[in-house]
A and B are shown apart, each in its own frame.
Chain A
Amino acid sequence: MMDFEDQLRRALERKDPSADFTARVMARASQPKKPLAWVSWRSWAAAGLAASLCLGALGLEVEHRRKVEQEGKAASAQLIRAMHITSIKLQRIHKRVQGSL
């Protein structure tokens, strides 16, 4: 009976791959490296999503600034009108005070 370790060596002897193995490796090695379709698709999708998010955020910011500006203008107009009314009332009081004197 063969030694156990010899049996293992025999069972694990090197085997040759298919006859066209080298040719297949060489064919694959000579192919130009192309990005995989799914990588490309994912990159484009990620870029599109990022661009959409940026545009969305920019739009929201512009809209917010426009709103603040409008509110500022309205407040300013309201203040001017209030001051105008106050001025008219003060003039009337001033005239009455002068008439009574």
Chain B
Amino acid sequence: MRVSYCEGSVIGSLAQEVGIPQAVAEADRSRAFEAAVREHQAMIYSVAYHFLQDHAVAEELAQEVFLELYRHWDEIESREHRIHWLRKVASRRCIDQSRRRKLRNHVSLEEAPEPFTWMPAADPILKRYIEQLLGKLAETPRLVVIMRYQEGLEPAEIADVLDMPVATVKSHLQRSLALLRRKLSFATREGEA
């Protein structure tokens, strides 16, 4: 008997063995899936929102990611595997969505205009400004920064999720942080002046 970590799969297998109707197993699978959606919805929605900067599109994308999880439910072996799988699929879909709908602002971060008003630290406007700057990064560095600072992943973990060498992740992080820091310090100096 194949024992899966997923609650739904275990119950489903047991139900089949003792002859409980398939409908009961299906209901249990559905309940386990619902719990997983509740647990991970903020993570997936936030990755999509920070990447795409559009609430409606981010929600739609997050829904698609969970529906894909539902289709592959029996292949998931553990909670950790599920989280890794969700991050991977969400990242891939974010890039696909960005390329398909050309949501990315064509102004690069280097060319982005500087703000003219003072923004004290921890101000909601500053928070929004950082989000906007992030939105101007290229797709891969943007995802790397999101995985690092939203999800708190180490470079090796990010490399695993995004299927790229650790050195590339570190290089993206370094370059993106330097750019963001420069833009932000410029804005702060301008404000103080």
Contacts and interface: CB of A to CB of B under 8 A. Distances in A.
A67 B85 CA distance: 66
Contact of A14 (B63, B67, B122, B150): B150
A66 to B, nearest CB: 54
A2 B46 CA distance: 23
A39 interface: no
A11 B41 contact: no
B170 to A, nearest CB: 15
Nearest to A33: B71
Interface string B38-63: 10011101100110000000110011
A36 interface: no
A7 B66 contact: no
Contacts of A37: none
A8 B184 CA distance: 11
Contact of B42 (A4, A9, A14, A29): A14
A30 interface: yes
A33 to B, nearest CB: 9
B37 A5 contact: no
A21 B62 contact: yes
Contact of A11 (B58, B59, B70, B127): B127
Interface residues of B, dominant DSSP: helix
Nearest to B184: A4
A100 interface: no
Nearest to B129: A11
Interface string B89-128: 0000000000000000000000000000000011000110
B49 A2 contact: no
Interface residues of B, number: 36
A12 interface: yes
Interface in A1-50: 1-2, 4-5, 7-18, 21-22, 24-26, 28-30
B16 interface: no
B38 A17 contact: no
B45 A15 contact: yes
Q: Which of A12, A15, A17, A22 has the most CB of B within 10 A?
A: A12
Interface string A45-57: 0000000000000
Contacts of A11: 126-127, 130-131, 134, 149
Given A12-B130, A30-B30, 14 more contacts: A7-B121, A7-B122, A8-B145, A10-B127, A12-B50, A12-B134, A12-B149, A12-B150, A13-B46, A15-B45, A21-B37, A22-B41, A24-B63, A25-B67
